[in-house]
C-alpha cells in the first residue's frame, strides 16, 4: 500500500502481483492485494 499511497502505482502493482502469486491466502494482505489489482485494472 505504501507505494500506491506515494503515487507509484507500477511499483505497487508489482508488489500486489507478488502477493497474489506467492502470498499466504490466509493473511489479510492477500485479498487486499487482489482487490487493489482489480481496482488498478490489472
In this predicted model, what pLDDT tens digit does every residue of 11-24 receive, in sequence order?
999 999 999 999 99
**Predicted local distance difference test score (pLDDT) of residue 21:** 97
d(CA 31, CA 13): 14
Q: Residues of the chain with pLDDT > 70: what percent?
A: 100
Q: What average pLDDT score do residues 34-40 get?
A: 95
5's grid cell: 499511497
d(CA 8, CA 38): 16
**Predicted local distance difference test score (pLDDT) of residue 42:** 82
Q: Under a CB-based contact definition with an 8 Å cutoff, are residues 10 and 34 in contact?
A: no
Q: Please check the confidence at residue 7 and state whether its pLDDT lies above 90.
A: yes
* pTM, two decimal places: 0.84
Instruction: List the one residue out of 13, 7, 14 whose CA is nearest residue 38.
Output: 13
Amino acid at each position: 500500500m505504501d507505494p500506491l499511497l506515494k503515487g507509484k502505482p507500477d511499483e505497487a502493482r508489482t508488489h500486489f502481483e507478488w502477493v497474489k502469486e506467492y502470498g499466504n491466502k490466509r493473511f489479510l494482505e492477500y485479498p487486499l492485494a487482489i482487490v487493489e489489482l482489480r481496482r488498478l485494472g490489472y
